[in-house]
């Protein structure tokens, strides 16, 4: 039984016409409603909270369709249009998957493509065994999952190097460093930090300039609308200068902290270990799980993430319809 047959069996011929869909640029007034919709089903990926949707909306030309109990996310890259897996309850997932498929067929004249699809949704839809779709794991984009208490305490032999770096930092900067919970009023510090960060990364040739600028603009935009988007920000100040900061959000359904942004002055040994630990201690004391996102296939980033002893992964998949 293919997806269309499953839909008709479950819901009858009730799928609304794709021409009723009107996508629009995401606005921050919708963030609270989107957050509720994102939490309607199990999802341990970093895309289970709305923060990344808003940070990266400029880079991917993101548009959304929102209705009661469901949201569709449409994006575009150099290969063309693609979508996120529909955000809705498990029982509504077949209906909105079909609605999205019809939109691709009739409006975009293209087979459906979904990137970063979570494993739970694929199982609900039966896509692993559906001959109409090619499903491929995006191995470089799997999210790293950690035990939150382990990262708060850094206890045991496997975290000895991390503890040594933290202790060395605290000894060297004793009386000079401070962790601060940050908010909208600290926008200036964060924007100035990001300007320097982008300049340094471009000079090093480490990443795409477009990606770096899009991330900076997305972060600044989110900070300017912190009264509308639920997230948490923490910073490490040394001699009253911001030297590291991180931004995260909380998936209450999974009891999971999602760390979307973490930046630090790499010339200060231990700064990343300290901001990592302090942020969880101060902002996510109730979290049981931590998602520190993917390594993008970069060896250095992979080694850094593995050094924190992940307990598993939130795997993601690309779903491509084979034909219209």
pLDDT tens digits for range 218-258: 999 998 898 898 999 999 999 999 999 999 999 999 999 99
- Using 50, 70 and 90 to split pLDDT, how confident is the model at 38? very high
* Number of CB atoms found within 10 A of residue 175's CB: 5
DSSP-derived 3-state class of residue 125: helix
Residue 305 has pLDDT above 70, yes or no: yes
Q: What are the domain boundaries of the chain?
A: 3-141+316-321, 143-293
Tell me the average pLDDT across 260-271: 95
Instruction: Give the rounded percent of residues in the chain with a pLDDT score beyond 90.
Output: 83
Instruction: Report whether 238 contacts 173 (CB < 8 A).
Output: yes
Letter string b/e over residues 150-172, b meaning 16 or more CB atoms within 10 A of that residue's CB: bbbebeeeebeebeebbeebeee
Residue 3 has pLDDT above 80, yes or no: no
Report in angstroms the alpha-carbon separations of 187 from 53, 58, 88: 20, 19, 33
Question: Hey, do 3-141+316-321 and 143-293 end up sharing a CATH topology, with the first three levels equal?
Answer: yes
Strands, E assignment, 48-121? 63-67, 70-77, 80-83, 113-118
Residues forming a β-bridge with 184: none
Tell me the average pLDDT across 192-210: 86
Please tell me the least confidently modeled range out of 5-19, 50-64, 177-191.
5-19
DSSP-derived 3-state class of residue 251: strand
* CATH placement of domain 143-293: 3.40.630.30
Instruction: Give the rounded percent of residues in the chain with a pLDDT score beyond 70.
Output: 94
Residue 49 has pLDDT above 80, yes or no: yes
Report the candidate in 320, 291, 307, 299 with the shortest Cα–Cα distance to residue 142.
Answer: 291
Kindly give, in sequence order, each residue whose CB lies less than 8 Å from that of residue 150, ignoring residues fewer than 6 positions away: 156, 159, 309
- Helix runs in 12-158, H state only: 31-38, 51-55, 93-106, 119-125, 148-153
* CATH placement of domain 3-141+316-321: 3.40.630.30
User: Each residue of 144-191: pLDDT tens digit?
Assistant: 999 999 999 999 999 999 999 999 999 999 999 999 999 878 888 898
Quote the mean pLDDT of the chain.
93
Instruction: Report whether 149 contacts 280 (CB < 8 A).
Output: no
* Most confident option among 4-18, 184-198, 304-318: 304-318
Tell me the average pLDDT across 194-203: 90
pLDDT at 4: 53
DSSP state, residue 30: G
- Using 50, 70 and 90 to split pLDDT, how confident is the model at 14? very low
* Most confident option among 112-116, 202-206, 224-228: 112-116
């Amino acid at each position: 039984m293919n997806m269309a047959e499953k839909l008709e069996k479950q819901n009858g011929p009730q799928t609304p016409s794709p021409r009723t869909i009107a996508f629009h640029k995401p606005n921050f007034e919708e963030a609270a409603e989107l957050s509720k919709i994102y939490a309607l089903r199990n999802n341990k990926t970093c895309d289970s909270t709305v923060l990344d949707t808003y940070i990266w909306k400029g880079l991917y030309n993101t548009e959304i369709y929102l209705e009661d109990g469901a949201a569709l996310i449409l994006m575009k890259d150099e290969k063309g249009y693609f979508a996120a897996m529909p955000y809705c309850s498990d029982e509504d997932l077949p209906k909105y998957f079909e609605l999205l498929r019809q939109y691709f067929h009739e409006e975009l004249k293209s087979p459906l493509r979904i990137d970063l699809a979570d494993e739970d949704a694929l199982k609900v839809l039966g896509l692993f065994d559906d001959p109409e779709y090619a499903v491929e794991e995006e191995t470089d984009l799997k999210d790293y999952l950690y035990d939150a208490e382990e990262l708060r305490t850094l206890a045991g032999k496997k975290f000895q190097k991390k503890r040594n770096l933290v202790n060395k930092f605290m000894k060297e900067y004793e009386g000079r460093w401070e962790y601060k919970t940050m908010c909208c009023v600290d926008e200036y510090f964060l924007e100035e930090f990001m300007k320097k960060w982008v300049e340094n990364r471009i000079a090093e040739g480490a990443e795409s300039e477009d990606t770096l600028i899009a991330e900076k603009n997305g972060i600044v935009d989110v900070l300017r609308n912190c009264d509308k988007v639920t997230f948490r920000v923490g910073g490490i100040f040394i001699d009253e200068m911001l030297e590291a900061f991180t931004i995260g959000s909380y998936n209450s359904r999974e009891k999971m902290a999602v760390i979307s942004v973490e930046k630090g002055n790499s010339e200060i040994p231990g700064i990343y270990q300290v901001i990592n630990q302090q942020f969880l201690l101060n902002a996510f004391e109730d979290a049981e799980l931590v998602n520190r996102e993917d390594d993008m296939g970069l060896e250095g980033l992979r080694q850094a993430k593995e050094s924190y002893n992940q307990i598993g992964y939130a795997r993601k998949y690309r779903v491509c319809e084979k034909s219209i």
